[in-house]
Amino acid sequence: MNGTTIDWARVRSDFPLLAREVHGKPLVYLDSANTGQKPESVIAAVDRYYREYNANVSRAVHTLGEQATTAYEASRDKLAVHLNVHRNDLVFTSGTTMAINLVAYSWALPTLKPGDAILLTRMEHHANIVPWQLVAGRTGATIKVAGITPDGVLDLDALYKAMTPDVKLLGVTHVSNVLGTVNPVREICREARSRGIITVIDGSQALPHRTVDIPAIGCDFYALTGHKMCGPTGTGALWARREHLAAMPPFFGGGEMIKEVRFEGTVFNDPPHKFEAGTPNIAGFIGLGAAVDYLDALGMANVEAREQELLAHATEELNKIDGLRIIGTAPHKAAVISFLLEGAHAHDLATLLDLEGVAVRSGHHCAHPLMQFYGVAATCRASFAFYNTHEEIERFVAALIKVRKLLA
């Protein structure tokens, strides 16, 4: 599908929630970095599972069980093709947070020791900070932090200088959830690999907005979240190099992740099932497969181009508002704008915008260290998706101007 021929109004009509009103006004949903809206095809896939073949997976030979298993594993196949990886290197998780914790407890905890270091960046989400702090506390490893520039660009010189021999693992976000900054993860992983450093990429904000080719990136681990890419909540995945999956012990124990259990010991299943204990979010992952189908039909290059148009329009209009400050002005950004309005607390601003039907997020965005760097307690964040419109941007800007007058 060619981006110039896509009827974006028709695409928007695929998302039923976007037709609703809030406070008697048409909804302008600008919080897709928090969670993406779901197209009808995803909702229908989840509904169809519960209505037509609700059964557990990989446990029954009856017709419903086989249908559920086939649909569930087909989603793994679809996601693998989407990421250009092998299906057996994809572990299904509840999201990026669980995926990173899986690496922390199954790879880092048995591997790290006193004197080792974990290198992170100032722009990381808490999900790529707190697990490493917990591991460091139990292993005696230390945390090192690479800084960013005032415009929200990762300081690569500082990052590479911090890649000293004690660093065993690097955790870095592909796209910042606050700043929108797109980090050069391919170059970063190449530098880390040359120093023998294991790389963990937080891809939560990248998958919804751009093509992600994991082999081209060259990382060791890549974590992703399904609900930000039009899929259901409680879905995600960890991709890992096969040698890591083979060597790592399981994170959870229970059913499905075993081949044989005796009281004398257990033989674990092969990856990825070794890491997927218990009954999974079957309906959710079937819905995630439908979301991948939807995005693939649009084409991620078309999605990115559309969102870049919206980002450019919104940035231009917001820069015209007196007293408005955009936090994060990297030259290479995803469709995320964090901002402050002089004289207005971020939460008050978001509340007043909601009364105008405009949904933005306010707060620290699970990035306290980044807020501390900018010397602010919170920001408002407008995050766009391909289903947004230029008219919504105009309504958003008009609402901001109205709110600014109310607060004057």
Flag whether pLDDT at 1 surpasses 70.
no
| pLDDT for the residue 11 | 98
Half-sphere exposure of 11 (CA within 13 A, CB side): 21
| pLDDT for the residue 60 | 76
Q: How far apart are CA 95 and CA 223, in angstroms?
A: 8
3-state secondary structure of 361: strand
123 touches 148 (CB < 8 A) = yes
H or E element in which residue 260 lies: strand 258-262
Flag whether pLDDT at 2 surpasses 90.
no
Half-sphere exposure of 298 (CA within 13 A, CB side): 29
Q: Where in the chain is the domain with CATH 3.40.640.10?
A: 44-296
Length of the chain: 408
- Interval 335-362: pLDDT, tens: 999 999 998 999 999 999 999 999 999 9
Q: How far apart are CA 197 and CA 219, in angstroms?
A: 10
The label of the residue with tokens 């592909």 reads: 174
Report percent pLDDT > 70 for the chain: 99
| pLDDT for the residue 159 | 98
3-state secondary structure of 347: helix
Average pLDDT over residues 284-297: 98
The span from the first CA to the last CA of the chain, in angstroms, equals 47
96 touches 203 (CB < 8 A) = yes
Average pLDDT over residues 181-207: 98
Flag whether pLDDT at 67 surpasses 60.
yes
Flag whether pLDDT at 303 surpasses 80.
yes
Q: Which of 189, 219, 230, 366 is catalytic?
A: 366
Helix axes 390-407, 346-355, angle to 10 degrees: 120
172 touches 199 (CB < 8 A) = yes
The CATH architecture one would assign to domain 44-296 is 3-Layer(aba) Sandwich (3.40)
| pLDDT for the residue 356 | 97
- Interval 96-126: pLDDT, tens: 999 999 999 999 999 999 999 999 999 999 9
Average pLDDT over residues 234-259: 93
3-state secondary structure of 144: strand
Select from 3.90.1150.10, 3.40.50.150, 3.90.226.10, 3.20.20.70 the CATH code of 3-30+299-407: 3.90.1150.10
Q: Token digits for 210?
A: 């751009």
pLDDT band at 4 (very low <50, low <70, confident <90, very high): low
Instruction: At 44, give phi and psi (nearest 5°).
Output: -65, -35
Q: How far apart are CA 212 and CA 235, in angstroms?
A: 18
Task: Please confirm, yes or no, whether 366 is among the known catalytic residues.
Answer: yes
Flag whether pLDDT at 24 surpasses 60.
yes
| pLDDT for the residue 256 | 82
Report percent pLDDT > 90 for the chain: 93
DSSP for 326-368 reads EE---SSB-SEEEEEETT--HHHHHHHHHHTTEE-EEE-TT-H
Q: How far apart are CA 118 and CA 134, in angstroms?
A: 12
| pLDDT for the residue 92 | 98
pTM of the entire predicted model: 0.97
| pLDDT for the residue 5 | 85
Q: Where in the chain is the domain with CATH 3.90.1150.10?
A: 3-30+299-407
Phi-psi group of 40: left, alpha or beta (phi > 0 → left; psi -120 to 50 → alpha; rest → beta): alpha
Q: How far apart are CA 304 and CA 383, in angstroms?
A: 13
Flag whether pLDDT at 284 surpasses 60.
yes
